[in-house]
């Protein structure tokens, strides 16, 4: 075999490294979306309060939905990468090792057995709902309570509320492993 020949095992390890790099990038991006959301929420609330214009709060639902959906999609891809490593890549590499009981990529399975995993997942779901759904719905309630609503903006705000509610449903479905076919990581 020539030095430049690549083995299947080397290809699998290269694939592992590549998808773990993608996962790491997605984790950083996803986590930063929460900070971006908090910053945008604070800026819109401050601007609306300073201008005494509750209509400005109508900017929060679409922004939170876009950021929330992006967060959710990245979170799902992060989980999908972990599932792929556990179910496909790891077993393929383990068969190549040809050692009885060989286990590869143990961390991909080990961290999922943490006794506090379920409580962390529940709290994360609540944080996601708070950041991406409760905050924009609260902004809509403040707008509706302001009393000075036009028919067009009222219609828009109801459509925004329905969109935010739809995002909330998806956040919960993705958080519940048996609810979405998602292999929540």
| End-to-end Cα spacing for the chain | 40
Domain ranges of the chain: 8-180
Cβ atoms of 93 and 15 closer than 8 Å: no
Q: Exposed, middle or buried: residue 135 (CB in 10 Å: 0-12, 13-18, 19+)? A: buried
pLDDT 10s per residue in the chain (185 long)?
556 677 888 898 999 999 999 999 999 999 999 999 999 999 999 999 999 999 999 999 999 999 999 999 999 999 999 999 999 998 888 888 766 566 778 888 777 778 888 899 999 999 999 999 999 999 999 999 987 889 999 999 999 999 999 999 999 999 987 544 455 55
Name residue, tokens 């401050």: 46
Cα–Cα distance for residue pair 81/87, rounded to 1 Å: 10
Q: Which two tokens stand for residue 149?
A: 């609503």
HEC per residue, the chain = CCCCCCCHHHHHHHHHHHHHHHHHHHHHHHHHHHHHHHHHHHHHHHHHHHHCCHHHHHHHHHHHHHHHHHHHHHHHHHHHHHHHHHHHHHHHHHHHHCCCCCCCCCHHHHHHHCCCHHHHHHHHHHHHHHHHHHHHHHHHHHHHHCCCCCHHHHHHHHHHHHHHHHHHHHHHHHHCHHHHCCCCC
């Amino acid at each position: 075999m020539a030095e430049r020949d690549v083995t299947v095992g080397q290809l699998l390890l290269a694939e592992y490294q590549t998808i773990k790099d993608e996962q790491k990038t997605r984790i950083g991006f996803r986590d930063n979306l929460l900070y971006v959301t908090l910053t945008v929420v604070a800026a819109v609330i401050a601007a609306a309060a300073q201008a005494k214009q509750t209509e400005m709060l109508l900017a929060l639902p679409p922004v939170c939905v876009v950021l929330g959906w992006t967060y959710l999609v990245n979170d799902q891809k992060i989980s999908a990468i972990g599932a792929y490593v556990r179910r496909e890549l790891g077993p393929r590499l383990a068969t190549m090792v040809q050692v009885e009981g060989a286990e590869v990529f143990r961390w991909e399975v080990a961290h999922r057995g943490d006794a506090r995993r379920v409580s962390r997942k529940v709290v994360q779901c609540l944080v996601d709902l708070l950041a991406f759904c409760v905050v924009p719905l609260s902004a809509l309630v403040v707008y509706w309570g302001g009393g000075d609503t036009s028919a067009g903006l009222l219609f828009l705000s109801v459509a925004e509320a329905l969109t935010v509610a739809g995002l909330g449903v998806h956040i919960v479905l993705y958080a519940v492993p048996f609810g979405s076919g998602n292999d929540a990581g």
